[in-house]
Amino acid sequence: MLLLAALDGLAYGSLIFLVAVGLSLIFGVLGIVNVAHGSFYAIGAYVAAAGVLAISAAGLPTWLAFPTLLIAAALVGILVGGLVEIALLRRVYGKEEVLQLIVTFAVFMILEDAQKVVFGVQPYFANAPMNWLGTVEVFGIFYTTYQLILMPLVAAAVLLGLRFFLRRTSFGRAIVAVTQDREAATAMGIDAARVYLITFIIGASLAALGGALASATTSLTPGIGAGTLVLSFAVAATAGLGRIEGAAVAALLIGLGRSVAVYFAPEFDVLIPYLIMMLVLLVRPQGLFSTVQTRKV
């Protein structure tokens, strides 16, 4: 039973990780709690679903849906994320946190309505990629290959890719430098504005990738962004905002906790992510993986 619950937790945690890690990255570098992150998830999902449905309607091979999911996520991250950063966010860097929250919340509300205008309110289904990959059997229980294998693989690839990018590439190191000390990094010739823009685009693309992957497993209705946003906040806060590896562990912890709850105490399944978050924050208010911040003089 516990193994089955763990497998469900793995699939669920992988999806939440993708969204939460984008949120964490943006906070870690830009210092902004981005409420609009839920919209990037939702728009990524809708654009991906529209692409997959267009492929089906055109009678093209189903495997084309997989690159479509990636392209949709990148497009949403670059176009919508880039626009939001350039037009709005760079005006509020360094301002009061409450102002930043209001701005990103306003963006969230505007994008929610824009999404309804563009995609309507009818639920969207684009499950062809999930069905195409078929099922795998574990102890007599059938899982979809898409959820049990593909999504954790993508999540692992994103985690490793981000680690490599931030530690081994020059631009990644520039991001880390700006995170540590923007002024010093700028003095060393790093274009902080460019770092902020690209980081925001990467973060938004990760949220959109979460949505794009989820679009094959779920029906898309108005409001999907809000639910995922709240859960990814819980993951990011549990890990410690800005912690990438921590987000992976927290997502797995929360995914597993939820699955175990459905098995043994179904009435707690909605509560469990927040219960875990609360317990962690009571013991470690800065989150599971945060280190003590040094104060600049």
Partner 1 sequence: MKTMKLALAALAGTLLASSALAQDKPKELVVGIATFLSGPASVFGVPGRNAADLLIAEINAKGGVLGVPLKPVYVDEGAGTNQLLSEYRRVVQEQGAQVMLGAISSGSCNALAPVAEDLKVVNVMWDCGTQTIFEDGKWKYSVRTQAHAGAEMMATLLYLMKVKPDFKSVAVVNQDYAWGRESWALLQAGLKALKPDVKVVAELFPKFGAPDFSTEITRLSALRPDVVISTSWGGDLDTFVQQAAARGLLKQSTFVLPLAESSLERLGNVLPEGVIVGSRGDHYWLHPKYKSTPEMQSFVKAYKDKTGVYPIYPTFHMQQALTGLVKAYEKAGAGGKWPSKEEVIAAFEGLEFKSLTGTITIRGDHQGLEDQLLGTTKRVPDYPFAVYDKMALYPGKLVTTPLGEKSLDWFAKVKPDLVTDKSIETFDYAK
Angle formed by the axes of helices 37-57 and 224-239, nearest 10°? 130
- Shortest reach from residue 147's CB to partner 1, in Å: 6
Near partner 1 by CB under 8 A, which window of 87-95, 170-178, 257-265, 289-297?
A: 257-265
What is the distance between the alpha carbons of residues 229 and 232, in angstroms, rounded to a whole number? Answer: 5
C-alpha 184/C-alpha 246 separation (Å) is 27
User: In terms of Cα–Cα distance, which of 239, 232, 249 is closest to 36?
Assistant: 232
CA dist., res. 25 & res. 254, Å (int): 19
Tokens (6 digits) for 18? 């993708």
Residue 271 Cα to chain centre, angstroms: 21
What length does the chain have? Answer: 297
* Spatial distance between the Cα atoms of 10 and 20, rounded to a whole number of angstroms: 15
Q: Which candidate, 211, 13, 224, places its Cα nearest to that of 108?
A: 224
Closer to partner 1 by CB, 116 or 284: give it.
Answer: 116
Residues 14-43 close enough to bind partner 1 by CB under 8 A: 15
Q: How far apart are CA 238 and CA 8, in angstroms?
A: 20
What lies within 8 Å, CB to CB, of 77 at 6+ separation is 40, 44, 201, 202, 203, 204, 205, 206, 207, 208, 209
Contact 130, 147 (CB under 8 A): yes
> Closer to partner 1 at the Cβ: 13 or 240?
13
Binding mask 134-163 for partner 1 (x = CB under 8 A): -x----xxxxx--x----------------
Print the binding letters for residues 98-137 with partner 1: x by CB under 8 A, - otherwise: --------------x---x---xxxx-x-x--xx---x--
Among positions 267, 291, 293, 297, the unique one binding partner 1 when judged by CB under 8 A = 267
Which positions from 196 to 235 touch partner 1 by CB under 8 A, shown as an x/- string?
A: ------------------x--xxxxxxxx--xx-------
CB 220, min distance to partner 1, A: 7
Find the binder of partner 1 among 193, 269, 278, 286 (CB under 8 A).
269
Task: Please provide the DSSP assignment of 218-265 as one string.
Answer: S-B-TTHHHHHHHHHHHHHHHH-TT-HHHHHHHHHHHHHHHHHHHHH-
C-alpha distances (whole Å) from 24 to each of 112, 126, 287 are 22, 28, 12
The size of the interface with partner 1 (CB under 8 A), counted in residues, is 45
CB of 223 to partner 1, least distance (A): 4
Q: How far is the CB of 107 from partner 1 (least distance, A)?
A: 17
Nearer to partner 1, 169 or 219 (CB): 219
Least Å distance, CB 110 to partner 1, is 13
Minimum distance of partner 1 from residue 169's CB (angstroms): 34
Should residue 54 be labelled a site residue for partner 1 when binding is judged by CB under 8 A? no
Which residues of the chain form contacts with partner 1 (CB under 8 A)? 1, 4-5, 7-9, 11-12, 15, 112, 116, 120-123, 125, 127, 130-131, 135, 140-144, 147, 214, 217-224, 227-228, 258-259, 262-263, 266-267, 269-270
